[in-house]
């Protein structure tokens, strides 16, 4: 299947460092279930939303790991679990070999310095009453007690790193463009020299031309600082441009994972094939329709393979009754795995 064409410059730097043996971050059996109240026909009923349900991940130092999937598939919830911004219902997270699942108090605060997140919407991420200097300097003041000349020097250095003129320091967010505001958010995320940064749809609120500039900046910062990224996006072309490996999520589970070239050029899971077929193209015929209907509610999961209700290939009894696990399909590239009964050797 033809992969979507990338709209980003073809001359960008190569992939970052080679993958070392020990992963920087791992997740095992990670789940987050929300108990929610629904009112139907005047009666109050409770149901469980399985936002994330049994996710295993290994993120290596220096890589850019992409997470893709439709709205509601659990991408942001996974990110919040990995960063300990929310507690899991089940499963563990290890960072640099340490179990961080139950960390509290000072050790948790220390961990937060090393793990940062940049959200989708820079307009709502910044406090309109704080200057750019305050926004970028806040983590340094609060976490490191920095002030005076030292703080000024660090904030100016961070502004330089994200190519924001120092004359912007005493402006307010409403005086900046969307791309400039996202540069402020990135500078703030880098202030405490994190090891890992989660980028949750960091460019989807921006104009296309500005998106390319922010992506190039992210790539440059990663190379300069040996940063590890988890990059969440709906935009498959962007993931292909920026990421080394990618996980495809569907209804709270990873259905396919592997090196970006393998997943984009030889997608195995019918859902990944449908996502790639549906991606906008610059040239060529209309894409085949491989995806039917809407994503089911995470509160009413279909039995068996979560995707079978929309899968054009679903045909085995197991598709409707058993949950497939990730396994290497026949002839797959190293590290390329897929959770589908139809693809298991």
Residue 203 touching Mg ion (CB under 5 A): no
Identify each DSSP E strand in the chain by its residue range: 25-40, 43-59, 64-68, 90-95, 98-99, 115-118, 196-200, 228-232, 245-250, 253-259, 337-338
- Scanning 13-21, 67-75, 88-96, 267-275 for contacts with ligand ATP by CB under 6 A, the matching segment is 67-75
Total residues binding Mg ion (CB under 5 A): 1
Residue 235 touching Mg ion (CB under 5 A): no
Residue (71 or 167) nearer to ligand ATP, CB: 71
Instruction: Pick from 6, 26, 31, 76 the residue near ligand ATP by CB under 6 A.
Output: 76
Q: Which of residues 64-83 bind Mg ion (CB under 5 A)?
A: 76
Residue (75 or 240) nearer to ligand ATP, CB: 75
Residue 233 touching Mg ion (CB under 5 A): no
For residue 255, give every residue at least 6 positions away whose Cβ sits within 8 Å of its Cβ, in sequence order, or none. 248, 249, 269, 271, 272, 306, 307, 338, 339, 340
Residue (6 or 76) nearer to Mg ion, CB: 76
Residue 77 touching ligand ATP (CB under 6 A): yes
Contact (CB, 8 A) for 116 and 198: yes
Question: CB count, 10 Å around CB of 98?
Answer: 11
- Return the SS3 of 170: coil
Partner touching 179 among ligand ATP, Mg ion, none, CB below 5 to 8 Å by kind: none
Instruction: Report phi then psi at 254, rounded to 5.
Output: -85, 125
Over the window 276 to 315, marking each residue x when it contacts ligand ATP by CB under 6 A and - when it does not, the resulting string is: ----------------------x-----------------
End-to-end CA distance of the chain: 20
């Amino acid at each position: 299947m033809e992969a979507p064409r990338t709209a980003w410059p073809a001359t960008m730097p190569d992939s970052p460092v080679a993958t070392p043996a020990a992963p920087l971050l791992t997740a095992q059996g990670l789940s987050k279930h929300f108990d929610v109240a629904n009112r139907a026909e005047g009666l109050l009923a409770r149901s469980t939303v399985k936002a994330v349900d049994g996710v295993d991940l290994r993120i290596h130092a220096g890589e850019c790991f992409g997470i893709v999937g439709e709205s509601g598939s659990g991408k942001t919830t996974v990110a919040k679990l990995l960063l300990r911004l929310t507690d899991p219902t089940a499963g563990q997270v290890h960072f640099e070999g340490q179990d961080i699942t139950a960390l509290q108090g000072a050790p948790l605060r220390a961990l937060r310095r090393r793990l940062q997140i940049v959200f989708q919407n820079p307009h709502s991420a910044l406090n309109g009453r704080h200057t750019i200097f305050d926004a970028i300097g806040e983590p340094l003041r609060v976490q490191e007690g920095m002030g005076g000349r030292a703080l000024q020097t660090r904030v100016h250095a961070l502004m330089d790193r994200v190519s924001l003129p120092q004359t912007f320091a005493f402006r307010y967010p409403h005086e900046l463009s969307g791309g400039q505001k996202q540069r402020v958010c990135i500078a703030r995320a880098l202030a405490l020299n994190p090891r890992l940064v989660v980028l949750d749809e960091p460019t989807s609120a921006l104009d296309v031309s500005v998106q390319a500039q922010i992506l190039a900046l992210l790539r440059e910062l990663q190379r300069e600082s040996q940063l590890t990224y988890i990059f969440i996006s709906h935009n498959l072309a962007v993931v292909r441009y920026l990421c080394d490996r990618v996980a495809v999520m569907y209804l709270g589970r990873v259905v396919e994972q592997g090196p970006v070239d393998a997943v984009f050029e030889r997608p195995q899971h019918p859902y990944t094939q449908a996502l790639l077929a549906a991606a906008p193209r610059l040239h060529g015929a209309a894409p085949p329709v491989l995806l039917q209907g809407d994503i089911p509610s995470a509160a009413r999961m279909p039995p068996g393979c979560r995707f079978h209700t929309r899968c054009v290939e679903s045909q085995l009894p197991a598709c409707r009754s058993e949950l497939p696990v990730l396994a290497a399909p026949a002839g797959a590239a190293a590290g390329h795995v897929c959770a589908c009964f139809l693809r298991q050797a």
